[in-house]
Amino acid sequence: MFRSTPLLLALTGLLLGACTPKEPNLQTSNALTDGVLLPAYSAWTEADRQLAASAFSFCAGNEDLQQARQIFLTAQASWAALQPLLLGPLAEGNLTWQVQFWPDKKNLVARQVESLLQQKPELTQADLGQASVVVKGLSAYEYLLFDKSLDLADATQRQRYCPLLIAIGKHQQTLSAEILQQWQGEAGMAAQLKKFPNSRYAEAKEAVAEILRAEVSALDALKKKLGTPLGRQSKGVPQPLQAESWRSQSTLSNLAASLATAERLWLGAKQDGIRSLLDADQAELARRLDQAFGDSRGQLAALQRPLDELLADKAGRDQLNAVYDSLDRLHRLHERELAKALGIQLGFNAHDGD
């Protein structure tokens, strides 16, 4: 008669465990952490490292204004790509205001930059640390490099504004490196999205819910970032100077970068994203979401003129309104149908009431 031994039972248990598929939410949370979230946070940190180096190089005369502007645009695009991934350390303590100040309804960026440099003509890193968030981030950096009233190619102006340019670059580098560090390590944010229970999430479904909330909030923000300059909140009167990145004319490319990340969360790096959580009987919803992403992506890509030019005539505004409506459909599909299909309560949205 065959008798089981403790060793044989242990081996059998291991084999059965190896054959048992992981819980779907656990698989998805793991896949999105390694395939989407960590790469995006790493790319953002690297872009900010290059931004800080660029500020030093430009102010030392080793880089021209066009090169400095291009490196800024890369850093800004990396930040835009991170928008659908704002969970964990960066979503806490209002840290995002230190990266970008928007909306700027009263041109506070320009006014506070000039006021700060008037008070601190020999500005130091410590001075910036004690200053308002308005002057610490990419919006102020953009003002220095792109505002038509300034010309940092001029040596006198460069001498005046370079201390702030360098300080902002260093601040962004330090901030992004600290955030990335909080994602890494045994007790970091990435580990909390992969092993459960932990101090942040009791189970994997909670982590997936948090990821979906971040994506839905970002899609809602995309509507606001387009709708504000389009005049959707001002009785149809265009507000071009209320666009997110009007000085560098990169508003639309930033929207595209954010949308691309949202779609990456949906699909996953290896077809292992949120879409994979839908069952076969939910294939129709998956198809409509695929189509909605494709529609928004295609409409944004089809815009051949800068935002301010599109806002200046009816044909352009019609195109932008079509993009807005497309983003609205995509957002509502997530908020109303996808969340329900996954059994996720989204709760309060950071943009509610805007």
pLDDT tens digits, 63-78: 999 999 999 999 999 9
| 24-341 CATH fold | A middle domain of Talin 1 (1.20.1420)
3-state secondary structure of 290: helix
Residues 6+ apart with CB under 8 A from 79: 44, 47, 99, 100, 138
Best CA proximity match to 243, nearest among 142, 115, 161, 133 = 142
For the cut 60, the answer to whether the pLDDT of residue 290 exceeds it is yes
Q: Mean pLDDT lowest for which of 4-18, 32-46, 262-276, 289-303?
A: 4-18
3-state secondary structure of 2: coil
Q: In which band, very low, low, confident or very high, does the pLDDT at 62 lie, cut at 50, 70 and 90?
A: very high
Q: Mean pLDDT lowest for which of 39-53, 62-76, 166-180, 227-241?
A: 227-241
Q: Do 198 and 192 form a contact (C-beta atoms < 8 A)?
A: yes
Best CA proximity match to 135, nearest among 177, 106, 164, 176 = 164
For the cut 80, the answer to whether the pLDDT of residue 351 exceeds it is no
**What does the pLDDT read at residue 5?**
56
Mean pLDDT of the chain: 93
What pTM does this model have?
A: 0.92
Q: Mean pLDDT lowest for which of 3-12, 188-197, 209-218, 287-296?
A: 3-12
For the cut 50, the answer to whether the pLDDT of residue 258 exceeds it is yes
**What does the pLDDT read at residue 347?**
78
Q: What angle do CA 299, 303, 304 make, to 5 degrees?
A: 150
What does the alpha-carbon distance between residue 206 and residue 15 come to, in Å, rounded to a whole number?
29
Q: Do 155 and 59 form a contact (C-beta atoms < 8 A)?
A: no
**What does the pLDDT read at residue 33?**
98
For the cut 50, the answer to whether the pLDDT of residue 2 exceeds it is no
pLDDT tens digits, 105-161: 999 999 999 999 999 999 999 999 999 999 999 999 999 999 999 999 999 999 999
pLDDT tens digits, 11-34: 444 444 443 457 999 999 999 999
HSE value, Cβ hemisphere, 13 Å, CA-based, for 116: 27
Q: Mean pLDDT lowest for which of 89-103, 124-138, 314-328, 335-349?
A: 335-349
**What does the pLDDT read at residue 20?**
41
**What does the pLDDT read at residue 73?**
98
For the cut 60, the answer to whether the pLDDT of residue 248 exceeds it is yes
CA 184 from centroid of its chain's CA atoms? 19
